[in-house]
Structure 1
Amino acid sequence: MVQFRLPSIPYPPAQDHGYWDPITSTLDWCEENYYATTYSAEIVNSVTNLMFVWLAFVGIYNCLRHGHDRIFLITFIGYLIVGSGSFAFHSTLKYPMQLVDELSMIYTTCLMTWATFEHKRPIWVKTVVALLVAGLALFITLYYHYLQDPSFHQNAYAILTAVVLIRSMYIMEVNIRPHFRKRHQEHEKVQASKATSEAEKLEERRQDDRDRWILKKMWIMIAFGLTIFLGGFGLWNLDNIYCQKIRTWRHEIGLPWGILLEGHGWWHLMTGLGAYFYIVWGIWLRHCLNGKSDQYQLSWPSYFTSIPRIVRDETRQNGTYKKNS
């Protein structure tokens, strides 16, 4: 029986030495070292970080063009450093580059932590929150450098991300949804009054439709972002647990198809996209909290072939709200 086999080329042998020798990082991932080029220790794990770089420039451009809050511009710059640091780390497997990669993840998440807890607070509260977050970042930096235990960094990052995500969901539901409900009830009372014009009733219904649509789209963004992020996390863990078996499979199917079995590369692609979804959601949430729901809209033409952006709203025409799906 003839077995079908995709055309492929054999994997070149892994090399113990390369341009960036010696390896000083505390981590060495499942991708074999220096098999493709002497100038990159882990070529797939390096190149997949270009997803971060591209999305960072998309985010920075949109922040500048559409006037989003400065904290999100800074966050996207931090996001760019994460991708660039990870590229350098996987290319060199040097400990200083490992710190740039891992600590920039912590610092960028700390920025989002501050943005989440300081909004519309008195200046003294903003200052206290800033000092607490800065102190936390410093503690994680020093303690991680002392321990040099990757699990500490991974746990710290996971906890920070969960705190920010849960806090943002809480703000969305508690600060926004009750506000919409209360306003809707007030509109119903006003509509019962003969003093309310037909034009005012139409505008109130438009606002209610808009508010329901915004909440629906926000939850869709959360679902997409979490699914992509957790999916990448799952593939990365499979890569860690079954590394030897996966390496065998890669060599059996050859290049370029073996690249599809690089779990840590998928982690970069999927967590980069998932994190981008979260930042964009945060931008939209901030505009809604600032009472600018009519000034900005979600631009997401296709769930599966495009990425979401928050842009200045030009869809409101003739008193109607045109939903951009």
Structure 2
Amino acid sequence: MATRLLTRLLSLPYPPEQDGRWSPVTSTIDWCEENYYATIYSAEVVNTLTNLLFFHLAIKGIRNALKEGHDTVFLVGFVGYLLVGAGSFLFHATLKYPMQLVDELSMIYTTCLMCFATFSNGRSRGHAICVAGFLASLAVFVTGYYHFLQDPRFHEAVYAALTAVVVARSVYVMEVTLRPRHQRRQPGRKDSETENEAQTAVRESERDAQILAQMWAVVGCGLGLFLSGFVFWTIDNRYCSRLITWRRQVGLPWGILLEGHGWWHLMTGLGAYHYLVWGTWLRHCTNGRQDEYELVWPRWNSLPAVVRSETAAGADQQKKDV
């Protein structure tokens, strides 16, 4: 009773929908958040502002990539992640069709980039060129066909398929690279290993098993965030009218918590960040640099990051001093 009274005392009624700076709506999608109720400068203010998380995490990822010397493809990946957030920010602020294309197609292009990173690593230059050509052609086709079709379900299906392919391939590479039972002896290596070689092999197997367990934790957290976001996204689409009624009953600011698409942004933003960190770390491991880099993730509700190990950082400092 006291909680209900406090909620009523600390809530404001929702203003009515109105025309705004960017009216009329020209996008093929108008989400469940009511338009321009808070300000004439943002059509969907919650859906707009929740994209600021992408800006924060993208800057964090870009700084980490530059500081720690990660492969360029992941630096570009975080730049693409930033563009996704910027596109979504502009789309929800204006609900204009060109901004919708910027939002949705940047998701496709960034996922294609991650496909390239996954399928070209460790392969010949010719193979990498073929992969790049195929993905570039696919991106051009999706862009043209989506603009012709203008059906959001096509974009959703392509994005989901590309994401599933990238994750599945990355999991396969992770298991084959790090799972001890999948590791093969080096060509020409004799069974009569020296004691030092045997000890080194045991140490590396234990190290890789520990890394694999940590990677699965990152993967599980990322997928859990993505699936949670999908649940919010589905509820927001299916029960929109009911959610609007509830939001107007509880008033502001409490009604913000019932903006399902805003939760989708937060959940998928965090999930995508976890994937990029995982991909960065996996690339170092597939390149045999497990002892040079490590994952820093002090607790489950913090943000993971891949950094140079203390040993590798110390060696680099010694080189600079010399």
- Scaled by the length of structure 1, what TM-score is found? 0.90
Residue deviations 1:34-87, cap 9 Å, x none? 111111110000000011111000100000000000000001001000001100
Counterpart of 2:17 in structure 1 is 15
Counterpart residue identity of residue 62, structure 1: N
Number of corresponding residues: 310
Counterpart of 2:76 in structure 1 is 74
Counterpart selection for 1:260 from 257, 260, 265: 257
Q: Secondary structure at the match of 2:306?
A: strand
* Cα separation, partners in 2 of 1:156 and 1:88, compared to 1, 3 Å: same
Within-5 A mapping of 1:303-322: 303-304=300-301, 306-314=302-310
Counterpart of 2:220 in structure 1 is 223
In structure 2, what is the Cα distance between the partners aligned to 1:272 and 1:3? Answer: 32
In structure 2, what is the Cα distance between the partners aligned to 1:204 and 1:296? Answer: 19
Counterpart residue identity of residue 308, structure 2: R
Using the TM superposition, give the Cα deviation of residue 136 of structure 1 relative to its aligned residue in structure 2, in angstroms: 0.2
Using the TM superposition, give the Cα deviation of residue 180 of structure 1 relative to its aligned residue in structure 2, in angstroms: 6.4
Using the TM superposition, give the Cα deviation of residue 12 of structure 1 relative to its aligned residue in structure 2, in angstroms: 3.0
Residue deviations 1:134-153, cap 9 Å, x none? 00000000000001111111
Counterpart of 1:176 in structure 2 is 178
Within-5 A mapping of 1:71-220: 71-177=73-179, 181-182=183-184, 195-196=194-195, 203-220=200-217
In structure 2, what is the Cα distance between the partners aligned to 1:179 and 1:312? Answer: 27
Counterpart selection for 1:45 from 44, 47, 54: 47
In structure 2, what is the Cα distance between the partners aligned to 1:307 and 1:201? Answer: 36
Counterpart of 2:319 in structure 1 is none
Q: Secondary structure at the match of 1:4?
A: helix
**CA-based RMSD:** 2.3
In structure 2, what is the Cα distance between the partners aligned to 1:79 and 1:216? Answer: 26
In structure 2, what is the Cα distance between the partners aligned to 1:166 and 1:37? Answer: 43
Q: Secondary structure at the match of 2:231?
A: helix
Using the TM superposition, give the Cα deviation of residue 173 of structure 1 relative to its aligned residue in structure 2, in angstroms: 1.4
In structure 2, what is the Cα distance between the partners aligned to 1:209 and 1:178? Answer: 8
Using the TM superposition, give the Cα deviation of residue 88 of structure 1 relative to its aligned residue in structure 2, in angstroms: 0.6
**Do the aligned residues in 2 keep the contact of 1:10 with 1:251 (CA within 8 Å)?**
no
Counterpart of 1:321 in structure 2 is none
Counterpart residue identity of residue 303, structure 2: I
Residue deviations 1:81-122, cap 9 Å, x none? 000110011001111111110000000000001111111111
Q: Post-superposition, which runs of at least 4 consecutive aligned residues in structure 1 deviate over 6 A? A: none
Aligned pair 1:298/2:308, yes or no?
Answer: no
Using the TM superposition, give the Cα deviation of residue 166 of structure 1 relative to its aligned residue in structure 2, in angstroms: 0.5
**Do the aligned residues in 2 keep the contact of 1:180 with 1:211 (CA within 8 Å)?**
no
Counterpart of 1:284 in structure 2 is 281
Q: Secondary structure at the match of 2:310?
A: coil
Query: Percent identity between the aligned chains?
Result: 56
Unaligned runs of 5+ in 2: 314-322
**Do the aligned residues in 2 keep the contact of 1:75 with 1:111 (CA within 8 Å)?**
yes
Q: Secondary structure at the match of 1:298?
A: strand
* Cα separation, partners in 2 of 1:62 and 1:316, compared to 1, 3 Å: closer
Counterpart residue identity of residue 134, structure 2: L
Q: Secondary structure at the match of 1:310?
A: strand
In structure 2, what is the Cα distance between the partners aligned to 1:117 and 1:202? Answer: 33
Using the TM superposition, give the Cα deviation of residue 171 of structure 1 relative to its aligned residue in structure 2, in angstroms: 1.1
Using the TM superposition, give the Cα deviation of residue 177 of structure 1 relative to its aligned residue in structure 2, in angstroms: 2.1
**Do the aligned residues in 1 keep the contact of 2:14 with 2:252 (CA within 8 Å)?**
no
In structure 2, what is the Cα distance between the partners aligned to 1:35 and 1:17? Answer: 9
In structure 2, what is the Cα distance between the partners aligned to 1:179 and 1:63? Answer: 32
* Cα separation, partners in 2 of 1:316 and 1:132, compared to 1, 3 Å: closer
Counterpart residue identity of residue 196, structure 1: E
Q: Secondary structure at the match of 1:268?
A: helix
Counterpart selection for 1:239 from 213, 236, 240: 236
- Scaled by the length of structure 2, what TM-score is found? 0.90
Unaligned runs of 5+ in 1: 318-325
Using the TM superposition, give the Cα deviation of residue 248 of structure 1 relative to its aligned residue in structure 2, in angstroms: 0.7
